[in-house]
């Protein structure tokens, strides 16, 4: 369950509680009225439960650091064509310009491309980068 669906569920429950209130005010039969009041209480419990769920969800999301860290990492890079048909993720900014491996990027891992002899490669996944010059 994601946050928008929890929010929709909460507003639906609120609407249902509102409708029940209207039914209670319209209905003169006291037995039915009693049952509707019980149902309304159940709905209010349900609503409270969902509000708790929403809080829990938001808390968990804030604690989910690896994802957030990755979001921060990728903000510092952009895809760049380093040579004809060869794309790498390049660090933004001029200082210590470097490239990270697109394979590892897909796995949410930052691995800097290093020069090894005449070629460039990723130390992590051994991806070799051939520059078409
Ligand atoms: Zn790699």
**Ligand 1 centroid from CA 123, angstroms:** 7
**Ligand 1 centroid from CA 126, angstroms:** 6
**Ligand 1 centroid from CA 62, angstroms:** 28
Measured CA to CA, the distance from residue 55 to residue 35 in angstroms comes to 30
Residue 118 clears pLDDT 80, i.e. is over it:
yes
Give me the residue spans of the domains in the chain: 3-63, 71-129
125 burial class (0-12, 13-18, 19+ CB within 10 angstroms)?
middle
Q: Is this structure's pTM higher than 0.85? A: no
The vertex-95 CA angle with 91 and 100, nearest 5°, equals: 25
Q: Which residues surround ligand 1, an ion (CB under 5 A)?
A: 101, 103-104, 111, 122, 124-125, 127
- pLDDT tens digits, one per residue of 8-59: 888 888 898 888 888 888 877 888 888 888 988 998 998 898 889 888 888 8
- pLDDT tens digits, one per residue of 57-108: 888 877 766 666 888 889 999 999 999 899 999 999 889 999 999 999 999 9
**Ligand 1 centroid from CA 133, angstroms:** 22
């Amino acid at each position: 369950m994601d946050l928008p669906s929890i929010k929709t569920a909460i507003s639906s429950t609120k609407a249902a509680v509102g409708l029940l209130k209207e039914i209670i005010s319209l209905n003169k039969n006291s037995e039915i009225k009693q049952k509707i009041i019980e149902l309304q209480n159940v709905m209010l419990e349900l609503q409270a439960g969902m509000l708790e769920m929403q809080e829990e969800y938001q808390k968990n999301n804030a604690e989910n650091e690896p994802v957030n860290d990755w979001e921060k990492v990728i903000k510092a890079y952009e895809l760049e064509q380093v040579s004809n048909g060869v794309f790498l993720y390049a660090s933004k900014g001029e200082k210590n310009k470097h490239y990270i491996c697109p394979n590892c990027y897909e796995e949410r891992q930052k691995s800097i491309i290093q020069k090894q002899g005449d070629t460039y490669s990723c130390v992590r996944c051994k991806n070799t980068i051939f520059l078409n010059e």
